Amino acid sequence: MVKKMIEIEFPNKEKKKFEENVSALDIARDISEGFARNVLVAKFNDKLIDLTRPITTSGSIFFYKFDDLEGKDTFWHSSAHVLAYAMMKVNKDIQLTIGPSIDNGFYYDIYPNNAFNQEDFVKIEEEFRKIVKEDLPFERKEISKSEALELFKDNKYKIEIIKELPENETITIYKLGEFIDLCRGPHLPSSKYVKSFKVMSTSGAYWRADSSNDQLQRVYGVSYQSNKELNDYLELLEEAKRRDHKILGRQMDLFSFSEYAPGMPFFHNKGMILWNELMNFWNKLHKEDGYEIIKTPIMLSRQLWEYSGHWEHYQKNMYTTKVDDQDYAIKPMNCPGGILVYKTKSHSYKEFPIKSGELGLVHRHELSGVINGLFRVRCFHQDDAHIFMRQDQIKEQILGVLNLIEKTYSIFGLEYNLELSTRPENGSIGSDENWEAATKGLEEALVAFGKGYKLNPGDGAFYGPKIDVHIKDSLGRSWQCGTIQLDMNLPERFDLSYIDENNQKIRPVMIHRVIYGSIERFIGILIEHFAGKFPLWINPVQIKILNIADRHLDYCEKVSKELKDAGLRVEEDYESRTLSNKIRIAQSEKVNYIMIIGDKDLEENTVSVRDRDNKTVTYKIEDFIDKLKNDVLNYM
């Protein structure tokens, strides 16, 4: 009998014939055994599939490794199944709910909420390693809804999920040894792929994130392809703890929080110095780039938020109140206020582009469980700007914002990646034509910018597509900060217009953009990026002056005054402590320079300066001032 052949197309457009029912893993092996050992999942005809799944039709194929998001997701989702199986072996009385992959590993939610404690982690890890050693295959099977209801009849959480599925939908399950789970997949070929694993922590969670539902226990884990990779990750976590902005923020006296204002930071004097230096830099760049700066009210009426669409799409995150029996909301975004400023007068095409920036205070109701230092707060300042322009200016203006982002982030040594997010499947506003034109405008600008970008389908704002900017800090962690949103819908909803060269009323196009994003969050990122050791130009305390003995105090005061008169930020420590103790305190405060004044300095009219590398150099005071001024200018 002649076996049926199918044709497979590879990413380089090369085509090759294989026998029907060939697996993606066999195709990978045909490329090379080494390649096959490193791939984790495949995409066939734009759908992710298990490497072991038979392929019955011709089509295109692409393979993913651990370095790819798709590969990482498959690896960690499969690891979540192994974790669930290991937990079942340790405690047979638990009920499983869901277990997805997350940014750094995976978790599985179980009932009851006190099933495991810290001592159980070792037992779970032992069972996990046994399952890995057994090299158990992930076996996929399709079943009917009625079969699924029977199979999971003792698990009310799985039953709830199944009942919500359409009657005629085919349901997939995966079997790993004696463990069976409801899952779409895809998964790794077998458990042996997960070479290294650790239970990280547990926390409380609610079924489907609803506090009226059962409280569950969330067990977090992380896994890698080797022990070295796991150990490197754990070392990274330890370094991240040492850089924790919440700890350094207190230690450096930058900011604090109060039970009387959950999720709302209090910035201290030193924190405000840092803040103001960042804002001075921001204002300088924006002034050079032709922006005008405005300020709009913090509270606006419900009618405005209905015009903008926020009342319908964002109300659950807004703080609302009544004034004179009318509904008002504290603004969660600055754009409607910026639009009202635009509408205060008529505009000509000759004025465009109009670039309007606002450092606006916004409030968003975040759940208490997700509040996290400066990274997730309930009130914050956005470095918003809105650009109003003609359609023929879209590409040029998007490129202008991208170049401004490049200038800003490069100053801090922050690398970044770009993502294009397109129209959400549900809840968006505006016509298909507007969305298509807006998306095309962003795509053309990204191609012209030449940095490359990732497509993120369906993750746009409800009013328009956007470019998200993900910065990478010194530990390699990614943070979403900047965003550029192209909007043709709010100008329509607010009836914005300008007069064109033919004296006709035309609808402008609008860009929403932030660069720092949330100022508070950006400061938190900088604290951890620099481990508190800020560059000279933004550091709240640049120099700490220490005296060796009381006889040096008059000279210390003279030096301090000269430094302050030169515009440098100085603190003094003349306390009756040992010099070594004073130095330790100054180092913990992350100052750039420690100035230690003694007899020799007094005699020779010099200053002895210790830098962060513990190198001590003696300067004439005027030479040291010139050096620091040059350092600040060269940095910016």
Tokens of 423: 């129209």
497, 367: one domain: yes
Does 309 map to a domain? no
Quote the pLDDT of residue 458: 84
CATH classification of the domain holding 212: 3.30.980.10
The residue type at 507: R
User: Which residues are 620's β-sheet partners?
Assistant: 606
Quote the pLDDT of residue 556: 95
pLDDT band at 362 (very low <50, low <70, confident <90, very high): very high
40, 160: one domain: no
88, 58: one domain: no
Domain region containing 518: 263-296+333-529
With both helix axes pointing from N to C terminus, report the angle between 269-288 and 394-411 in degrees, rounded to the nearest 10: 140
CATH classification of the domain holding 31: 3.10.20.30
Q: Is the pLDDT of residue 636 over 70?
A: no
Give the least confident one: 346-350, 428-432, 586-590: 428-432
Q: Percent of the chain at pLDDT above 90?
A: 82
Spatial distance between the Cα atoms of 99 and 218, rounded to a whole number of angstroms: 9
My answer on whether omega of the bond before 297 falls inside 30° of 0, hence cis, is: no
Q: Is the pLDDT of residue 270 over 60?
A: yes
pLDDT band at 461 (very low <50, low <70, confident <90, very high): confident
Give the mean model confidence (pLDDT) for residues 112-118.
92
pLDDT band at 315 (very low <50, low <70, confident <90, very high): confident
Give the mean model confidence (pLDDT) for residues 264-276.
97
Cβ neighbours of 505 (radius 10 Å): 11
Q: What is the DSSP code (8-state) at residue 539?
A: -
Give the mean model confidence (pLDDT) for residues 242-255.
94
Does 196 map to a domain? yes
Going by C-alpha positions, the residue among 138, 141, 145 that lies closest to residue 170 is: 145
pLDDT band at 85 (very low <50, low <70, confident <90, very high): very high
125, 182: one domain: yes
> Do the Cβ atoms of 101 and 41 come closer than 8 Å?
no
Q: Summarize pLDDT for 36-77 with one digit per residue, the tens.
A: 999 999 999 999 999 999 999 999 999 999 999 999 999 999
Quote the pLDDT of residue 2: 64
Q: Summarize pLDDT for 391-418 with one digit per residue, the tens.
A: 889 889 999 999 999 999 999 999 999 9
pLDDT band at 496 (very low <50, low <70, confident <90, very high): very high
Spatial distance between the Cα atoms of 185 and 182, rounded to a whole number of angstroms: 9
Tokens of 41: 């999942």
Task: Quote the strand ranges of 338-493, DSSP E.
Answer: 354-363, 379-389, 415-421, 454-456, 466-472, 478-487
Which residues have C-beta within 8 Å of that of residue 231, sequence separation ≥ 6? none
Tokens of 490: 């709010």
| Domain stop point among 504, 529, 554 | 529
Quote the pLDDT of residue 55: 95
440, 457: one domain: yes
Catalytic residue list: 335, 364, 382, 384, 386, 466, 512
The dihedral formed by the CA atoms of 408, 413, 419 and 420, expressed in degrees to the nearest 10:
20
CATH classification of the domain holding 569: 3.40.50.800
Spatial distance between the Cα atoms of 120 and 38, rounded to a whole number of angstroms: 32
481, 557: one domain: no
Give the mean model confidence (pLDDT) for residues 128-144.
96
| Domain stop point among 482, 503, 529 | 529
Quote the pLDDT of residue 327: 92
Which residues have C-beta within 8 Å of that of residue 514, sequence separation ≥ 6? 382, 383, 384, 385, 481, 482, 483
Q: Percent of the chain at pLDDT above 70?
A: 99
> Do the Cβ atoms of 283 and 399 come closer than 8 Å?
no
388, 515: one domain: yes
Does 160 map to a domain? yes
81, 41: one domain: no
Q: Summarize pLDDT for 4-43 with one digit per residue, the tens.
A: 899 999 999 999 999 999 999 999 999 999 999 999 999 9
Give the mean model confidence (pLDDT) for residues 365-386.
89
My answer on whether omega of the bond before 186 falls inside 30° of 0, hence cis, is: yes
74, 60: one domain: no
Q: Quote the number of domains for the chain.
A: 4
Helix boundaries (H) for 258-300:
269-288
Does 282 map to a domain? yes
344, 482: one domain: yes
Give the mean model confidence (pLDDT) for residues 178-188.
96
The overall average pLDDT reported for the chain is 93
198, 105: one domain: yes
Does 626 map to a domain? yes
Q: Is the dihedral of CA 223, 224, 227, 232 positive or negative?
A: negative
Question: At 45, phi and psi to the nearest 5?
Answer: 50, 45
Total residue count of the chain as it appears in this document: 636
Count CA atoms within 13 Å of residue 443 on its CB side: 10
Does 326 map to a domain? no
CATH classification of the domain holding 381: 3.30.930.10
Q: What is the DSSP code (8-state) at residue 352?
A: P
Q: Summarize pLDDT for 543-557 with one digit per residue, the tens.
A: 999 999 999 999 999
106, 174: one domain: yes
Does 250 map to a domain? no
Q: Is the pLDDT of residue 122 over 90?
A: yes
Q: Is the pLDDT of residue 223 over 80?
A: yes
Does 306 map to a domain? no
